[in-house]
Structure 1
């Protein structure tokens, strides 16, 4: 049975080419489904994908018939499962996902996986996911884990950086005039 685990994720950037990055899973946080994913859960699966020369699917809302691009990079770090992907902007769904991600209207990721090793704490009701076979990572509207939200859109970040630089220049001019 294929499980789905939702995470709201932080896209670090979405640029005009449809490239984005962020976290698909954040470790050691109990989500809305009372699950926790621990560091190391993805390593074996990612090694298997690497041996095949590809990565798990990039889907829209877990719809297997609606790929919206490809992942170009996935790895675990101390935070969680870091991903980089490229949206297929010449497809209707890829272009739609891009626009919605830029607006922060859609900001969640959800992993589709088969659990290979987990444990259940009857006292707390929390399942600890220790190892998975990762099949896909979807862009979703309603994630279960709120810790991995969208960080921003690269074009907006560049605009904000330019605005901050212009403001700093204005402050420097004002300071220079008052001296």
Structure 2
């Protein structure tokens, strides 16, 4: 880590919590994907824009609460500098996952989709997360 990198962490997904798309992620849903790729296989993007990654995820783990991420926003690019400045100012604090559903089923009511296994592609820093409780903070 360079002294200009901005360390961040947070929960990108919360288990058994309904998002605005009526998805609920089951505990263990990320295990297979993370075992295959590790954090290096998951990109850090801004607003799901794959044209300009803004940093790297150093650790991604499932804990009792959900999918915990820890990484660094890199100020070596214009977009990285912008995102770091917005995070430091408190203007940007959402996290959102980009994934493919591998195993999913409807819940008992038929209204929610329960994600039992997902292939995690990226975790973005976003203005409005699909899961309102998915937030980042500066790591220290």
Q: Does the 8 Å contact 1:55/1:72 carry over to 2?
A: no
> Of 29, 36, 61, which aligns to 1:41?
29
4+ residue stretches of structure 1 with deviation over 6 A? none
TM-score w.r.t. the length of structure 1 is: 0.71
Higher Rg: 1
Question: Which residue does 1:59 correspond to in 2?
Answer: 45
Kindly report the root-mean-square deviation, in angstroms, between the aligned alpha carbons of the 2 structures: 1.9
1:22 equivalenced with 2:6 (yes/no):
no
Q: Does the 8 Å contact 2:57/2:69 carry over to 1?
A: yes
Unmatched 5+ stretches in structure 2: none
Q: How many residues align?
A: 138
TM-score w.r.t. the length of structure 2 is: 0.90
Alpha carbons of 1:154 and 1:111: their partners in 2 closer, same or farther (altered >3 Å)?
closer
Structure with bigger helix share is 1
User: SS of the counterpart of 2:86?
Assistant: helix
CA drift of 1:145 comes to: 1.3
Unmatched 5+ stretches in structure 1: 1-14, 156-179
